[in-house]
Amino acid sequence: MVIFSLAAFVKLMFIFNLNINSVFQANIKLKESPSIVSICFSYYNRMYLFLLKPMYRLKEIPHPYDSKPATIIKKCAKHIRLTCLAYQKTTTFSKTVISLIIMTLSIPLHPLNAQTYKINKYGLQLIKDWSGYQTRIKMDSDLALMPLDSLIPDLKTDFVYATKNNFTHTILYQRPRAYLRKPAALALQKIAQQLRPLGYGLLIYDAYRPYNVTEKMWQVVPDNRYAADPKHGSGHNKGISVDLSLYSLQTGKAVPMPTEFDNFTSKAHQGYQNLPDSIIKNRALLKKFMEAGGFSPLSTEWWHFSYPNKTSRGHPYLLMDLNFDALSGQKQ
Ligand SMILES: [Zn+2]
């Protein structure tokens, strides 16, 4: 028994060192300073990769970051059961003890304990507070919302939702600033750089939109032809959709487009053709540059474009409900 325990302890220390070293190396490769959370997160994954998977030939590795806590606990329980089964069949006592100790230790270390998101009444995962948002950014810097005016010096904005001059005739948010998630924001920066020599600048109507604004819109206009149903949320709530047009750098005026913003008739559709050639050309120019930059158009709104809903590390962008004051670094 003593020999078994000693062997288990030595093996545990060896595996622990191996994992911590590889976690630091991975972080150095990514040029990010390793935070406690990212170490715990990486350690959790590596523990399964290095230890449990080869030991018991587990096919499925739980992905802790985007699962619900209940799912994680279920998966951990499944792994413990599999480990016990493996012990009964072929493995040694020390192997099983190590696995059980590490799996038990890993549960309180789990980053989900940091409560990065809340589940709302529709069962949607929602980032509602600054600390949850910060924790996620530490895990994956692509999840950060970036202010577009800091990347695009000649960016113009016309935030109609901050006025009563919008389809709801109510002020939907205050002190807005145009934000998109980092990869989408950098892609838009590139598009602006390509349009500049042609004499065009970007005119933003709306970009990231807090989830509560989608709820407000739905209260006023509960019609999914005009507004996003809060049961699903919108790409704007995830910071990956943007409503925009072009303006002339020479005159500062908006380039003529098929309709004004938030016109909900067929005239606003991408495929609507009964228009002067010059307007079709303007619409096609915006679409061409946005698509080349990685954005997808929406068939019913010439102004709406969305970026893919996954970071390069495979994390989906969750709905967010932080208001603009909170994002500017002030307290909510
Ligand atoms: Zn939109």
Of residues 191 and 222, which shows the higher confidence score? 191
Q: Residue 223: which pLDDT band, with cuts at 50, 70 and 90?
A: confident
| Residue 123: per-residue pLDDT | 84
CA of 96 to the centre of ligand 1 (A): 53
Residues marked as binding? 236, 243, 304
Question: Would you kindly state where each structural domain of the chain is located, as residue ranges?
Answer: 2-114, 118-327
CA of 128 to the centre of ligand 1 (A): 21
* Token code pair at residue 32: 């990010």
118-327 maps to which CATH number?
Answer: 3.30.1380.10
Give the distance from CA 140 to its chain's centroid: 9
Q: What is the pLDDT of residues 71-128, one digit of tens each?
A: 555 655 665 566 556 555 555 666 666 666 665 655 444 444 345 778 888 888 899 8
| Residue 63: per-residue pLDDT | 45
CA of 242 to the centre of ligand 1 (A): 6
Main-chain phi, psi angles of 204, to 5 degrees: -100, 130
Distance CA 92, CA 14 (A): 18
Pairing of strands 319-320, 125-127: parallel
Distance CA 246, CA 233 (A): 27
CA of 203 to the centre of ligand 1 (A): 13
Q: Residue 134: which pLDDT band, with cuts at 50, 70 and 90?
A: confident
DSSP string, 183-249: HHHHHHHHHHHHHGGGTEEEEEEE-S--HHHHHHHHHH---TTTS--TTT--HHHHT-EEEEEEEET
Residues marked as binding for Zn(2+)? 236, 243, 304
CA of 274 to the centre of ligand 1 (A): 23
Q: What percent of the chain has pLDDT over 70?
A: 64
Kindly give, in sequence order, each residue whose CB lies less than 8 Å from that of residue 321, ignoring residues fewer than 6 positions away. Answer: 126, 127, 128, 210, 211, 212, 237
Catalytic residues: 301
Question: Do the Cβ atoms of 265 and 300 come closer than 8 Å?
Answer: no
| Residue 287: per-residue pLDDT | 98
Amino acid in the structure at residue 326: A
